[in-house]
Chains A and B, each alone.
Chain A
Amino acid sequence: MSFSGLLSQLLEIIIAIALAPLLTGWVNLWRAWLQNKSAPSIWLPYRLLHKLFNKESVIADNASTLFRAAPYVMFGCMTLATGIIPTLSTDLPLATAADAIALVGLFALARVFISLAAMDIGTAFGTMGARREMLVGFLAEPALLMVLFSASLISNSTSLTTIVDTLGHREFAIYPGLALAGVAFTMVSLAENARVPVDNPATHLELTMIHEALILEYSGRHLALIEWAISLKLFAYSCIGLALFFPWGVAQAQAPLDMLLALPVLVFKLAIGGFLLAVLETVSVKMRIFRVPEFLGTAFLLAVIGLLVHLLLVP
Chain B
Amino acid sequence: MGHLPPLAQWLHLDWMLVIVAGWLVVSAAGVLVLHRFALVSRVLFPIGGLFSLAIFGVALDATLNAPEVAIMPIGLPGLPFHFRLDSLSAYFLMVLGAASAGISIFAAGYFRKGEGTPPGLLCLEYHVFLASMVGVLLADDAYSFMVMWETMALSSFFLVTANHRIPEVRRAGFLYIVMAHIGAIAVLLCFGVLQANTGDYTFANMRAQVLTPFWSSIGFLLAVLGFGAKAGVLPLHVWLPEAHPAAPSPVSALMSGVMLNSAIYGLLRVSFDLLHMRLWWWGGVLLAIGLATALFGVVFASVQTDMKRLLAYSSIENMGMLFVGMGLTLIFSAYDMKPMAALALTATLYHVASHSCFKSLLFLGTGSVLHATAERSLGKLGGLIRTMPWVGWLMLLGVLAAAGLPPLGGFVSEWLLLQSFLFTPGLPVPVLTMLIPVVAALIALVAALAGYTMVKFFGVIFLGQPREEKLAHAHDAGGLERAGMVWLALGCVALGLLPTQFIQLIDPVTQQLVASGLGARVGASGWLLAPTSLAQASYGPVIFLLGILASFALAYLLVRKFYHGRLRRSLPWACGFPWGSARMQDTAEGFGQPIRQIFEPFFLMQRELPSAFDEKPQYRVKVEDHFWRWVYEPITKLAAVLGRLFGLLQQGRISVYLLYSFVTLVVTLLVVMR
Name A's B-contacting residues (CB within 8 A). Answer: 53-54, 56-64, 66, 72-73, 75-77, 79-80, 83, 94, 96-99, 101-102, 105-106, 108-109, 111-112, 115-116, 119-128, 130-132, 134-135, 137-139, 141-142, 145-146, 149, 152-153, 156-159, 162, 204, 206, 216-217, 219-221, 225, 290, 293, 300, 303-304, 307-308, 311-312
Name the contact of B543 in the complex, choosing from A94, A126, A290 (C-beta under 8 A). Answer: A94
In the bound complex, residues from chain A placing their C-beta under 8 Å from that of B534 are 96, 159
Chain A, residue nearest B525 (CB): A96
Nearest-CB distance from B555 to chain A (Å)? 5
Task: Report B447-473 CB contacts with A as 1/0, cut-off 8 Å.
Answer: 111011011101110011100000000
In the bound complex, residues from chain A placing their C-beta under 8 Å from that of B597 are 290
Do residues B406 and A109 form an inter-chain contact, with CB atoms below 8 A? yes
Nearest-CB distance from A165 to chain B (Å)? 9
Bound-state CA distance A1–B460 (Å) is 45
Bound-state CA distance A80–B465 (Å) is 33
Nearest-CB distance from B526 to chain A (Å)? 11
Do residues A225 and B555 form an inter-chain contact, with CB atoms below 8 A? yes
Nearest-CB distance from A132 to chain B (Å)? 8
In the bound complex, residues from chain B placing their C-beta under 8 Å from that of A98 are 406, 539-540, 544
Do residues B547 and A112 form an inter-chain contact, with CB atoms below 8 A? no
Chain B, residue nearest A98 (CB): B544
Name the contact of B382 in the complex, choosing from A122, A145, A158, A303 (C-beta under 8 A). Answer: A122
Name the contact of A157 in the complex, choosing from B437, B535, B586, B594 (C-beta under 8 A). Answer: B535
Do residues B552 and A72 form an inter-chain contact, with CB atoms below 8 A? yes
In the bound complex, residues from chain B placing their C-beta under 8 Å from that of A206 are 575
Do residues A137 and B575 form an inter-chain contact, with CB atoms below 8 A? no
Chain B, residue nearest A306 (CB): B437
Do residues A72 and B555 form an inter-chain contact, with CB atoms below 8 A? yes
Instruction: Indicate whether B641 reaches chain A with its CB closer than 8 angstroms.
Output: no
Could you write out 29 A-B pairs with CB less than 8 Å apart?
Answer: A54-B563, A61-B569, A61-B572, A75-B552, A76-B549, A76-B550, A76-B551, A96-B534, A98-B544, A101-B415, A101-B539, A108-B451, A116-B396, A116-B458, A122-B580, A123-B573, A127-B585, A130-B459, A131-B586, A134-B452, A135-B594, A141-B444, A142-B441, A145-B441, A149-B437, A152-B422, A303-B441, A307-B437, A311-B433
Do residues A120 and B463 form an inter-chain contact, with CB atoms below 8 A? yes
In the bound complex, residues from chain B placing their C-beta under 8 Å from that of A73 are 548, 552
Name the contact of B438 in the complex, choosing from A60, A77, A293, A308 (C-beta under 8 A). Answer: A308
In the bound complex, residues from chain B placing their C-beta under 8 Å from that of A145 are 418, 441, 444
Task: Report B400-439 CB contacts with A as 1/0, cut-off 8 Å.
Answer: 1001111000010011001100110000000001100110
Do residues B591 and A121 form an inter-chain contact, with CB atoms below 8 A? no
Name the contact of B535 in the complex, choosing from A54, A72, A159, A304 (C-beta under 8 A). Answer: A159
Bound-state CA distance A126–B585 (Å) is 8
Do residues B536 and A101 form an inter-chain contact, with CB atoms below 8 A? no
In the bound complex, residues from chain A placing their C-beta under 8 Å from that of B575 are 125, 204, 206, 216
Nearest-CB distance from A96 to chain B (Å)? 5
Name B's A-contacting residues (CB within 8 A). Answer: 382-383, 385-386, 396, 400, 403-406, 411, 414-415, 418-419, 422-423, 433-434, 437-438, 440-441, 444-445, 447-449, 451-452, 454-456, 458-460, 463-465, 528, 534-541, 543-544, 547-552, 555-556, 559, 562-575, 577, 580, 582, 584-586, 590-591, 593-594, 597-598
Chain B, residue nearest A73 (CB): B552
Bound-state CA distance A161–B586 (Å) is 42
Do residues A308 and B434 form an inter-chain contact, with CB atoms below 8 A? yes
Q: By CB atoms of chain B within 10 A, which of A79, A109, A128, A304 has the most?
A: A109
Bound-state CA distance A1–B423 (Å) is 27
Given A98-B539, A108-B405, A157-B537: A123 and B572 interface contact (C-beta under 8 Å): yes
In the bound complex, residues from chain B placing their C-beta under 8 Å from that of A125 are 574-575
Do residues A58 and B405 form an inter-chain contact, with CB atoms below 8 A? no
Chain A, residue nearest B572 (CB): A60
Bound-state CA distance A315–B543 (Å) is 36
Do residues B580 and A94 form an inter-chain contact, with CB atoms below 8 A? no
Do residues B405 and A96 form an inter-chain contact, with CB atoms below 8 A? no
Given contacts A64-B385, A159-B535, 16 further A-B contacts (CB under 8 A): A56-B567, A58-B570, A60-B573, A62-B383, A62-B386, A64-B386, A80-B547, A102-B411, A105-B415, A111-B451, A116-B459, A125-B575, A126-B585, A128-B586, A135-B594, A137-B451
Q: By CB atoms of chain A within 10 A, which of B414, B433, B528, B572 has the most?
A: B572
In the bound complex, residues from chain A placing their C-beta under 8 Å from that of B422 are 149, 152-153, 158
Name the contact of B449 in the complex, choosing from A62, A120, A131, A138 (C-beta under 8 A). Answer: A138
Given A57-B568, A206-B575: A97 and B538 interface contact (C-beta under 8 Å): yes
Bound-state CA distance A153–B38 (Å) is 61
In the bound complex, residues from chain A placing their C-beta under 8 Å from that of B540 are 96-98
Bound-state CA distance A153–B543 (Å) is 26
Nearest-CB distance from A164 to chain B (Å)? 12
